Structure 1
Amino acid sequence: MPPIYKPTSGPEDWKQFLAKPDLHWKTGYSAKSLAYCWEGADGLPSEVATAIRNQWGAEPEPLLIIPEYKVPLPGGATDSQNDAFMFCRIGAQTAAVMIEGKVNEPFGPSIGEWFKQPSPGKIERLQHLCTLLGVSYPPAPELRYQLFHRSASAIIEADRFKADLAIMIVHSFSRTRAWHEDFAAFTAELGAPGETGGLPRAISVPGRPFHLGWVTGDAEYLTR
């Protein structure tokens, strides 16, 4: 398909871009909560804007936001389908930002589960992800595969857009920070603190600065 996008008229427009709309579009789940939160924001959700402002001391200006953004990866036909992609200005810099929405959904299979009896395509893909993120191959089996390809998506698109920064944000609406321990284990592997609300730099990633963090959305969007 050609890279042509049209503006949304409201949060319900996000449903059509889901891989399985009838399964994933439910009140209290991440896809719908994220859509209503981002569509209802004046610019950016306050928790996202605050995390960026605290890290760089400048007000973020969203230039482009695309729901359900696919990033091709080597080693197979399956893309990394990110919940949202944002290209923004942060002061004098630009940033490619991937957003991963969560409520109580896990980060999918672990590396050990996904990489069991790996095909040549999976080997190629995982080697590529590890190279982008600057971590040893193969990585620890308990780490979550989804966090690898979501983070790589930000780095890949930052390169394509010639952005100064690559950022991956987990935008969680969980009241109990469900699955935060998996996120913290992943950020530790990349040499970045996994605290909530911050966007520390991952020191393992070579080249362009890559930052990642976890922010918590308003509970009101769990009822939309």
Structure 2
Amino acid sequence: MLCLEPSSGLRKRVQFLLETLELERLSDADISGLRYQLLHRAASAILLAQKFTSPNALMLIHSFSESDKGFVDYEKFVSLFGLRALKSRLIGPVTINGIDLYFGWIRGD
């Protein structure tokens, strides 16, 4: 199996997302295997809340998988914020840059 190093552009984007989410303290080992999309969606929620001066933000994952495929990745991600993932419930908030960020996982058509 061939393993490639991430490009400098990807490293910069990931660093920006980690800083936006106040997770810059994490090492490469901490974020190894973490889905980029989860970082991006959570940071997007924070950035939109900042843009509209909202005190709250929500990152909601809508799964179309009957077996909740990807939930393990979601669990790992929210654990970075000290939260325990639950299905069909909002969890949080965690306060990031003065914004309360909530997370949710739902399943359905």
| TM-score for the superposition, normalised by structure 2 | 0.82
Cα distance, 1:168 vs. partner? 0.6
- Percent of counterpart pairs with the same letter? 33
The 1:206–1:137 alpha-carbon spacing in structure 2 relative to 1, beyond 3 Å, is farther
Alignment of 1:181-192 (within 5 A): 181-192=72-83
Cα distance, 1:119 vs. partner? 2.5
Q: Partner amino acid for 1:170? A: I
Superposed CA RMSD in Å reads: 1.9
Structure 1: any 5+ residue segments left out of the alignment?
1-112
SS of the residue corresponding to residue 129 of structure 1 reads: helix
Q: Of 122, 127, 130, which aligns to 2:15?
A: 127
Q: Partner amino acid for 2:18? A: C
Q: Give the aligned partner of residue 54 of structure 2.
A: 163
1:117 paired to 2:8: no
Give every structure 1 segment of 4 or more consecutive aligned residues whose post-TM-superposition deviation is greater than 6 Å.
Answer: none
User: CA separation in 2, counterparts of 1:129 and 1:191?
Assistant: 18
Q: Give the aligned partner of residue 64 of structure 2.
A: 173
Cα distance, 1:204 vs. partner? 6.9
Structure 2: any 5+ residue segments left out of the alignment?
none
Aligned positions, number: 104
Higher RCO (CA 8 Å, separation ≥ 6 residues): 2
Between structure 1 and structure 2, the one with the greater Rg is 1
Q: Of 86, 99, 108, which aligns to 1:208?
A: 99
| TM-score for the superposition, normalised by structure 1 | 0.43
